[in-house]
Structure 1
Amino acid sequence: MPHHDLPFQAEYAKSGRAGCKACKGNISQDSLRLAIMVQAPTFDGKIPTWFHYACFWKRAKCKNPDDIYNFHALRWDDQQKIKDKIGVGGGTGAGGDHEDTGSHPLDGEYSTEYAKSGKSKCRGCEEFIAKDSVRISQKEYTSQRAIMYGPQDLWYHVDCFVEKRDELGFTTDMDPSMIKGFGKLKPEDKTMLYEKLGKGKKTATKRKQDAKKDGNGGKKVKKEETEEEKTLREQSKLLWDMRDKLSKDVSNAAMKLLLELNKQEIPSGESKLLDAVADCLVFGALEKCKECKDGQLYYTAEGYCCTGNVTEWTKCMNVTKFPTRKAFKIPKEFHDVPFLKAYKYVKRERAFPVVTISSTSGLVSSCMDSVDGVSTSKPLRDMKFVLGKLKGSKSEVTKAITDLGGVVVSKVDAKTAAVISSKEEVKKESKTILEAEKHEVHVVNEDFVKACSNGDVLKLISVHSIASWGSPIEKRIGQRPTKSAPKSGMSARDEARFTKSVPAKLKMMVKGGAAVDPDSELADKAHVLQDDGEPLTAVLGLVDIARGTNSFYKLQALEGDTKMSYWLFRAWGRVGTTIGGNKVERCGSRNSVISNFKEMYLQKTGNNWEDRKNFQKVPSKFYPLEIDYGQDDEEVKKLDLENSTSKLPKGVQEIIRMIFDVESMKKAMMEFEIDMKKMPLGKLSKRQIQSAYSILTELLKLIDTNGSQTQIVDATNRFYTAIPHDFGMKKPTLLDTAKIIKQKTDMLDNLMEIEVAYSLLKGGDDGDDPITAHYNKLKCEMEPLDPASEEFERLKTYTKNTHATTHNMYDLEVLDVMKIVRQGEKQTFRPFKELKNRMLLWHGSRTTNFAGILSQGLRIAPPEAPVTGYMFGKGVYFADMVSKSANYCRTSKTDNIALMLLCEVALGNMYELKHSLFVNPLPKGKHSTKGIGRTCPDPASDYTSPDGVVIPMGMSVDSGVNDSSLLYNEFIVYDTAQINMKYLLKMKFNYKY
């Protein structure tokens, strides 16, 4: 696991200069030191805060040694020391010495006392805790304050603590009398705690007494060493003996030359250099990565990871426990070192410990609703299998296992995941079966291999077991990696520290066609320098899903307004947070600042400034982003109804204000987590959105064809670069399911509509009143319908009668109705006017989409868009139940006014379906698709207009179709010429709860 994903780190101090964050004393060179990883305030990454070994346990709560990066690379005795510490008292983080941890059965994890004032807030209900009332706390170790000053008490009302006891880890077998401070409470308050928390089982006290009674005087009884531990201990000694010899007798320059001669990449830092050479001498030189063909592998506790790149966007994610190796050669010129002269390569296989993977580490899948999580990596990755007697072909089973990431070996040992065999062989008790029984390895049938491509591998081993034995699988092979909902890995308070004070918008001063960044503090006396007519300014972005980074870098060459002064401005950090920093460097001349700017641009992007218009992405380098500094905002003024001189009816004016409301557009983009600084309204472009559609289509194909995790990460990185997102401190989400692809497709659909609206807004008003000017741009006539008219009343009845019983969160109130005629639509609809079966049907959408809908009509998703989420293919969808369409308006209790359409739709001969089917094209002789629902408006109450349009305005009844997967009817046309928009309704959603 990379160090940036784990909460702690361990190593031997490289020098004696580092200070301990607890006692402030220096940490001596080569001594074991431990660190808590914290978010760096000045760049998008984490940094270690180092402690002496003893001081660390007073500040940290480490329950699992696998949460410590580099733990398995420590000397064996130090590994055991940490394990023992966690086993006795280290898991609580309380106390520094063993004797201290025995002083309290719950190790000070929980405390109780009378509130000293009324100023502390309960972490459960967020209300103040009254002075002198009983309160209970749990220790907190991960916040910045806890790291700097020691564990912090998080206080709760007693009732709130009881309500959250499971979440807080205070189980029902725990005795309240063991809570620190319990003895100082009044008798009646002790009784109250017993009543609310129960008396527990007093297991902690019993353990303490047993420890005193046993013959070892309370000392821990040493467990017998397992075969696995013995192997790892001997391997650790072999490696460290070699490393110590190298450190003593071989110079760094000589070690680098040895690696070069054996075609190994040279790592940075002496410690990593020693690790790499020792690994090669003991196990052999590593061949290049098999996935990317070029990357160097390096050791981690999970396996050998690759440092290479699969594409210019994505690092290689290959991890293997069985790398290909070759003999490590020692040239004669190194024979002056005795142990190198005597060295002979011995082929060995490196043993790996069983690692329990932290659930908050690694990639973040979009499967947030999953309990167990979903891994997009190969399900049998690095699991070893032995093949017994099979009914099928052994070569085919071997290939199937290999394709799923597993390895087929010949001998059964304690690390074997399973033996694949038959019931007949189990009965015969063959040699392989007896070996499996000896090591308690499961025996599974051949069906297991087919099943494990779509399921939980560990559960499937038990399900397909055909023998009576089998030890816990996790103990043999470790937990399989799973994905969880996005987490930042820090407390809510710390997360807020980096996000709350982010300004919503920075006012930029534009001079000579480019804005001076206000962070330079030079906006009032400098301007952006131009070179060959081009302003020297750049905003760069870098998204790395694997590392969880979402970084930016800004560059500007600045020139003084009045005198010959020059500065290079740089700023960097994480998008949507206060994390980062900036620097202003004074340069001696115009040529100097231009040269420095271009040099820095090349360093950060790998491209020359002169080649930026033909930019080529370079691995691990930044990518240029277009950015709007707000200079277009002057063209886009808020529509003012009160001071408007428009002659349009007030109802029409109100609708124009609604659909051209810039704040609503921005709010919609923020809901999609779009970074409004990198991609503001003024920078939306069809080309950019179409490019993003294509990436989503590529992702959907990868998901459908079981593409590799690396391919999915690569496409996700490209998508987030095309459409910058603001994740705050959370990790960017992997786009790895059809569900998230549908969500992002919907986002792009909305962005496409907003782009149309904003383009109309920026077009100027030619001297007319702004509201009238925007109305004219729509090229769509609106005529208010008289609320007293029969036509208005009929549409109200249609609304009331077709509100589905399952959509009962709100009622709909018709506030206003406009008869609409979109320019040119009558002509395109005329050929379909003669089609039989024309109906007046509902269509709902976000209010921000209606400028695009009214000006350009309802449109079908573009060819670039992925096909997911369309139940009956890419078309325009309508309903005869108002609430089915109303749900697409995306309203809420606080934003409950929306717009809906009633359209005359020429359905003709309908292709009737009861279940999802991607229609492309329609069968011959069919003009539309009807998804038949189990409930529909009563056909007996249909109203037919004088020109033959049917309004299905009856109360909902059973359709008589019981085997459909749809609750309500859907109508889909695949040619927009079959649509004639008739009414625009302003609706109020009256939410009940």
Structure 2
Amino acid sequence: EYLAAAGKSGGGGSWFYFLKNDPLGKPDGWYSYDEDNSTETEELYGEYEASNKAARLSTRLVHSETSGFTYRVDLQAMTQTNTQSGTSRPIGRTTTGHAPPAPQSQAKAKATPQLTTPGTVQSTPRKTVTKKAPTKKSAPAAARSLSAPMSAAAGAVDSAASSSLQGGSVYAEYNVMLNQTNLASNNNKFYKIQLVETNRGVHLFTKWGRVGEAGATQEMGPMDSERAVKEFEKKFKAKTANKWEDRGDFLPKAGKYKMVEMEEDEDAAKAMSSCASAASSSTRKILPCSLESKTKALVDLIFNEDMFKTAMSAMNLDPNKLPLGALSATQIQRGIVALEEIEEEIDGAANPRTLMELTSNFYTIIPHAFGRSRGPVLNTKKSVAEKYDMLNTLTDIEAAQTMQRKNQQTEDGDGAIEHPSDLNYQQLATDLTLVNEDDADHTIIETYLNSTKCTGYRGG
């Protein structure tokens, strides 16, 4: 029944909610949904209509990323109820873009003030004054039956998922992090979509919110893999305006989310704990380090997590957790390209609007947590150089973690394991030789270091 409904769901409608006795003093009347919420509600309405108004499809949850609230939308009673405050308001749908007539029951509409929680901001409703052209929506692509095995490369189940999903695994490759930053409208939000397979079936897990905050979550399922994949692909397309199967040639669209390539949680955790677990093992003997003392000190410095944490703290980055997790080397390189575009604009026209758009693109690629404040525009060479330094640090961290991830502990005949410094040295894949201070090479290296230190990511 559900798949048949989803295949027939249409579009073209605009959605509104009726505001009366607003505690902030807004005039009584109809206000339009945000674009994303209107699109999502229209999809749900299409499924409800195509299913001959099946009761189980009449009430759905819709989250507003603008206000931070989740609403229970009743498509039969045409009401929305704030799940936190209990406030209920009439809703309406039109295909003309104009607001509906005033509801007959407006005098009885509940007027309980909207409650805000720490870290959320009450949004200002947008009064509809212009006609919105109907949008055509294509039917969802046919679901594919997948038999691909689960793989550790697919990543870990999100830590915010319910306990019933924590014992499961990410289904095939269906795991993506999205981000969108728009400084002009103070948008800085993420959206994560996962399919999680448990012994009960496949579940759709979504998490969204402002970057740096825990965000809200929603789970759907269990369901069969065919339906789950269809739901995942529909959600991905709604948020990015790209098809999942075309993600290799992803085309960013204005007002939509972009993909953010992450290091998988499981691998990152292993990398961060590999040396610590070896050094802290109280039940296994660790072999003495075979490195010369000064060589060992250098290797330990290269892989020193405290040094990375100190550098990140100096750049106002959370040393324990990046806003959305560890970024991949490819994603960091995209950030460098974005900074180069900003530099070119600063050297050229230095148009304030263009710099704001380019900075928004950089923050979308390299997520930053600004709280509820608007992020700063990168409009000076100094501010760009600071971001190059930040990416340089992130690159070093990613490289060190990648090498640590490859460490393989081996035991001798007595069950003792290799020293962590020896393991890290092996990952450098080079021979380090100590140079005496009176050696000519020492003078050359010292001169080079003193001439190039503290000059930014690219020495500019």
| Residue matched to 2:159 | 518
User: Contact conserved, 2:154 with 2:175, CA < 8 A, in 1?
Assistant: no
Q: TM-score, normalised by structure 1?
A: 0.29
Deviations 1:515-554 (A, max 9, x none): 1223221334433223xxxx22221111111122221111
- Please state how far the C-alpha of 1:599 moved relative to its aligned partner: 1.0
| Residue matched to 2:375 | 732
Give the SS at the match of 2:251: coil
User: Contact conserved, 1:644 with 1:771, CA < 8 A, in 2?
Assistant: no
Task: Calculate percent identity across the aligned residue pairs.
Answer: 22
1:640 aligns with 2:279: yes
1:7-18 correspondence runs (5 A)? 17-18=20-21
- Please state how far the C-alpha of 1:273 moved relative to its aligned partner: 7.8
User: Contact conserved, 1:44 with 1:550, CA < 8 A, in 2?
Assistant: no
Cα 1:623/1:679, change in 2 over 3 Å? same
- Please state how far the C-alpha of 1:43 moved relative to its aligned partner: 5.5
1:773 aligns with 2:409: no
| Residue matched to 1:629 | 265
Instruction: Give the Cα–Cα distance (whole angstroms) in 2 for the partners of residues 640 and 732 of structure 1.
Output: 40
User: Contact conserved, 1:517 with 1:523, CA < 8 A, in 2?
Assistant: no
- Please state how far the C-alpha of 1:617 moved relative to its aligned partner: 1.0
| Residue matched to 1:537 | 175
1:746 aligns with 2:389: yes
Q: Which runs of 5+ in 1 are unaligned?
A: 1-13, 31-41, 49-251, 257-265, 278-294, 297-508, 786-790, 793-818, 846-852, 871-993
1:89-100 correspondence runs (5 A)? none
Cα 1:551/1:667, change in 2 over 3 Å? farther
1:601 aligns with 2:244: no
Cα 1:763/1:631, change in 2 over 3 Å? closer
- Please state how far the C-alpha of 1:604 moved relative to its aligned partner: 0.9
Cα 1:644/1:603, change in 2 over 3 Å? same
Flag the structure with more relative contact order, 1 or 2, with Cα contacts below 8 A and sequence separation at least 6.
2
- Please state how far the C-alpha of 1:15 moved relative to its aligned partner: 5.4
Deviations 1:429-485 (A, max 9, x none): xxxxxxxxxxxxxxxxxxxxxxxxxxxxxxxxxxxxxxxxxxxxxxxxxxxxxxxxx
| Residue matched to 2:144 | none
1:93-172 correspondence runs (5 A)? none
Instruction: Give the Cα–Cα distance (whole angstroms) in 2 for the partners of residues 644 and 731 of structure 1.
Output: 52
1:15-94 correspondence runs (5 A)? 17-18=20-21, 20=23, 29=28, 44-46=65-67
Deviations 1:737-764 (A, max 9, x none): 1221121122233334444433433332
Give the SS at the match of 1:542: strand
Deviations 1:563-622 (A, max 9, x none): 4x33221111111123x3111122543322221111111111111111111111111111
Deviations 1:99-134 (A, max 9, x none): xxxxxxxxxxxxxxxxxxxxxxxxxxxxxxxxxxxx
| Residue matched to 2:112 | none
- The residue type paired with residue 841 of structure 1 is T
- Please state how far the C-alpha of 1:513 moved relative to its aligned partner: 4.2
User: Contact conserved, 1:556 with 1:570, CA < 8 A, in 2?
Assistant: yes
- The residue type paired with residue 230 of structure 2 is S
Cα 1:513/1:568, change in 2 over 3 Å? closer
Deviations 1:907-961 (A, max 9, x none): xxxxxxxxxxxxxxxxxxxxxxxxxxxxxxxxxxxxxxxxxxxxxxxxxxxxxxx
Cα 1:587/1:680, change in 2 over 3 Å? closer
Q: TM-score, normalised by structure 2?
A: 0.59
Aligned length: 330
- The residue type paired with residue 611 of structure 1 is D
Give the SS at the match of 1:728: coil
User: Contact conserved, 1:545 with 1:717, CA < 8 A, in 2?
Assistant: yes
| Residue matched to 2:198 | 560
Instruction: Give the Cα–Cα distance (whole angstroms) in 1 for the partners of residues 182 and 374 of structure 2.
Output: 9
Deviations 1:375-401 (A, max 9, x none): xxxxxxxxxxxxxxxxxxxxxxxxxxx
- Please state how far the C-alpha of 1:44 moved relative to its aligned partner: 4.6
Instruction: Give the Cα–Cα distance (whole angstroms) in 1 for the partners of residues 68 and 379 of structure 2.
Output: 30
User: Contact conserved, 2:203 with 2:219, CA < 8 A, in 1?
Assistant: yes
Instruction: Give the Cα–Cα distance (whole angstroms) in 1 for the partners of residues 154 and 369 of structure 2.
Output: 27
User: Contact conserved, 1:679 with 1:723, CA < 8 A, in 2?
Assistant: no
Instruction: Give the Cα–Cα distance (whole angstroms) in 2 for the partners of residues 511 and 753 of structure 1.
Output: 24
Give the SS at the match of 1:569: strand
Cα 1:762/1:16, change in 2 over 3 Å? closer
Deviations 1:640-672 (A, max 9, x none): 399551133444433322221124324423543
Q: Which runs of 5+ in 2 are unaligned?
A: 1-16, 30-62, 70-92, 103-125, 134-149, 411-417
- The residue type paired with residue 572 of structure 1 is W
Instruction: Give the Cα–Cα distance (whole angstroms) in 1 for the partners of residues 219 and 291 of structure 2.
Output: 54
Instruction: Give the Cα–Cα distance (whole angstroms) in 2 for the partners of residues 698 and 21 of structure 1.
Output: 42
Deviations 1:842-865 (A, max 9, x none): 7369xxxxxxx9xxxx99989xx5
User: Contact conserved, 2:183 with 2:374, CA < 8 A, in 1?
Assistant: yes
Deviations 1:326-368 (A, max 9, x none): xxxxxxxxxxxxxxxxxxxxxxxxxxxxxxxxxxxxxxxxxxx
| Residue matched to 1:210 | none
- The residue type paired with residue 629 of structure 1 is D
Give the SS at the match of 1:537: strand
Give the SS at the match of 2:370: coil
Aligned to 2:207, which of 550, 564, 571? 571
1:591 aligns with 2:226: yes
User: Contact conserved, 2:181 with 2:188, CA < 8 A, in 1?
Assistant: yes
1:528 aligns with 2:173: no
User: Contact conserved, 2:403 with 2:424, CA < 8 A, in 1?
Assistant: yes
| Residue matched to 2:449 | 843
Instruction: Give the Cα–Cα distance (whole angstroms) in 2 for the partners of residues 511 and 777 of structure 1.
Output: 22
User: Contact conserved, 1:541 with 1:552, CA < 8 A, in 2?
Assistant: yes
1:620 aligns with 2:259: no
Over the residues paired in the alignment, what is the CA RMSD in angstroms?
Answer: 4.5
Cα 1:29/1:727, change in 2 over 3 Å? closer
| Residue matched to 1:695 | 338
1:480-519 correspondence runs (5 A)? 513-519=154-160
Greater Cα offset, 535-544 or 703-712: 703-712
Give the SS at the match of 1:518: coil
Deviations 1:74-108 (A, max 9, x none): xxxxxxxxxxxxxxxxxxxxxxxxxxxxxxxxxxx
User: Contact conserved, 1:766 with 1:773, CA < 8 A, in 2?
Assistant: yes
Cα 1:742/1:614, change in 2 over 3 Å? same
Deviations 1:789-819 (A, max 9, x none): xx69xxxxxxxxxxxxxxxxxxxxxxxxxx8
1:470-485 correspondence runs (5 A)? none
Deviations 1:478-527 (A, max 9, x none): xxxxxxxxxxxxxxxxxxxxxxxxxxxxxxx9968431223221334433
Give the SS at the match of 1:520: coil
| Residue matched to 1:361 | none
Cα 1:701/1:861, change in 2 over 3 Å? same
1:798-817 correspondence runs (5 A)? none
Cα 1:592/1:689, change in 2 over 3 Å? closer
Cα 1:270/1:734, change in 2 over 3 Å? farther
1:755-834 correspondence runs (5 A)? 755-765=398-408, 767=410, 768-778=418-428, 779-783=430-434
Instruction: Give the Cα–Cα distance (whole angstroms) in 1 for the partners of residues 322 and 446 of structure 2.
Output: 42
Instruction: Give the Cα–Cα distance (whole angstroms) in 1 for the partners of residues 407 and 189 of structure 2.
Output: 36
- Please state how far the C-alpha of 1:677 moved relative to its aligned partner: 4.4
Instruction: Give the Cα–Cα distance (whole angstroms) in 1 for the partners of residues 189 and 347 of structure 2.
Output: 31
Cα 1:270/1:721, change in 2 over 3 Å? farther
